Structure 1
Amino acid sequence: MNRNFAIESLAWDKQGGLLPAIVQDADSLRVLMLGYMSREALAATLVSGRVTFFSRSKNRLWTKGERSGHVLELVAIEADCDADTLLLQARPAGPTCHLGRASCFAGAPGDGLAELDALIARRERERPPGSYTSQLFAAGTRRIAQKVGEEGVETALAAVVQGDTALLGEAADLLYHLTVLLRARGLSLAEARRVLAGRRG
């Protein structure tokens, strides 16, 4: 995160000293909410690492989640090409919307694989009883790797001798187990994606 963000380079005078700030989930890329920031709100966000807005209804600085605990931990911030709108990437600690939804925009699209990766990471940390994912982690890396091998073979066989529905099901199983394996090694699907992105061209 760039804590040296150039606050004074923004076009504060265009909209009465407030800039719209779009908040996006840093992992799933789902748009979570829109708020407004003053200079002070942006400075507070950069200092604390928690997204803070200027509440027009309360007429004061307001840190998201200050009562509910559902804060937004800042990951990255950038201004648009006109320097009059902000895009913040953050990790939410619970639902962002006051209605208990992940996003204030009910149908906002997200990245399903990133959400799966985040869920598996939580399962690794929390190990809830009765969870298949918890059982895999308890079994260890060797067993998880074995499952990836089994699912890889089943995916290949489905591609050769079964229909599209079966192939998609096996591919989903393979992606799930591969994500668990990466997490068992302390890695993430996002890191594998970055490797892929580096191979473009």
Structure 2
Amino acid sequence: MAADFTDGIPLDRIRFNDQGLVPAIAQDYLDGTVLMMAWMNRESLAKTLATGEGWYWSRSRQELWHKGATSGHLQRLKSIRYDCDSDAILMAIEQVGDVACHTGERSCFHQIGEGKQAPGANTLSELYDVICDRRDHPNPESYTCKLFAGGDNKILKKIGEEAAEVVMACKDDDPDQIAGEAADLLYHTLVAIAHHNVPLRDVLRKLHERRR
């Protein structure tokens, strides 16, 4: 059964523009990546709230647009809010198929300069992408690549060492040292996750479940 968000936004509070539209930004609910921006009118916003799926207004076709109805790339609403001026919508969504753009890219915001580059999400996700790149394109001078070359024995030994250092930093009650040692532990844990080909999104999904 689809979630009902009709109590999430009071429609009468939203300030639609002269064309009766309001910009709506869709953001990945796990890593925060901005996936797309489209327009909503009052009816499409009401349908989004009632069905828990992304509905927009197509300015080119002049009709309601159920995102993913044709491609299968539906957007499942996780949360929705509006800004301080009540004239913009921000949605946290689960993007089915992990493709929001009609070009096949994950995000519509993939262009930079004359080329393409996936937009940054959060620091943890960006670091994991770098680690996976080191795994897939080994460089003998890279510390990360040396960890991968050493396999579980080397990686897990480092995790044990870093975990102990986090404990000692906490016992010393040194905020800067705690932050540094925790960062080292997270980094080496990400290397282990990548070594076992576990998608970071699976970890983020588990963390999201822990919030309940």
| TM-score interval, normalised by the smaller of the two chains | 0.5 to 0.7
1:50 aligns with 2:53: yes
Conserved in 2, the CA contact under 8 Å of 1:72 and 1:92?
yes
**Partner of residue 100 from structure 1, selected from 94, 99, 104:** 104
Distance in structure 1 (CA, Å) of the matches to 2:59 and 2:101: 17
Provide, for residues 138-189 of structure 1, a one-character-per-residue CA deviation record: whole Å limited to 9, x for no partner. Answer: xxxxxx9x9996442254799xxxxxxxxx9985332355797xx999x823
1:62 aligns with 2:65: yes
1:173 aligns with 2:188: yes
Alignment partner, residue 12 of structure 2: 8
SS, match of residue 107 in structure 2: coil
The offset of 1:190, in angstroms, is 4.3
Unaligned runs of 5+ in 2: 111-117, 129-151, 166-182
Alignment partner, residue 29 of structure 1: 32
Identity %: 35
Letter in 1 for 2:72: G
Conserved in 2, the CA contact under 8 Å of 1:36 and 1:53?
yes
RMSD: 3.8
Unaligned runs of 5+ in 1: 117-143, 159-167, 195-201
The offset of 1:8, in angstroms, is 1.3
SS, match of residue 50 in structure 1: coil
Conserved in 1, the CA contact under 8 Å of 2:156 and 2:192?
no
Provide, for residues 58-98 of structure 1, a one-character-per-residue CA deviation record: whole Å limited to 9, x for no partner. Answer: 11110111110011111111111111111111010121011
**Partner of residue 109 from structure 1, selected from 120, 143, 156:** 120
Distance in structure 1 (CA, Å) of the matches to 2:19 and 2:119: 29
Distance in structure 1 (CA, Å) of the matches to 2:56 and 2:191: 37
Distance in structure 2 (CA, Å) of the matches to 1:55 and 1:7: 20
Distance in structure 2 (CA, Å) of the matches to 1:76 and 1:154: 39
1:152 aligns with 2:159: yes
The offset of 1:191, in angstroms, is 6.2
Q: Structure 1 pair 151/93, CA: closer, same or farther in 2 (3 Å)?
A: farther
Distance in structure 1 (CA, Å) of the matches to 2:61 and 2:22: 17
Distance in structure 2 (CA, Å) of the matches to 1:169 and 1:178: 14
Alignment partner, residue 141 of structure 1: none
Distance in structure 2 (CA, Å) of the matches to 1:108 and 1:45: 25
Q: Structure 1 pair 154/80, CA: closer, same or farther in 2 (3 Å)?
A: same
Count of aligned positions: 154
Letter in 2 for 1:189: L
TM-score scaled to structure 1, two decimals?
0.62
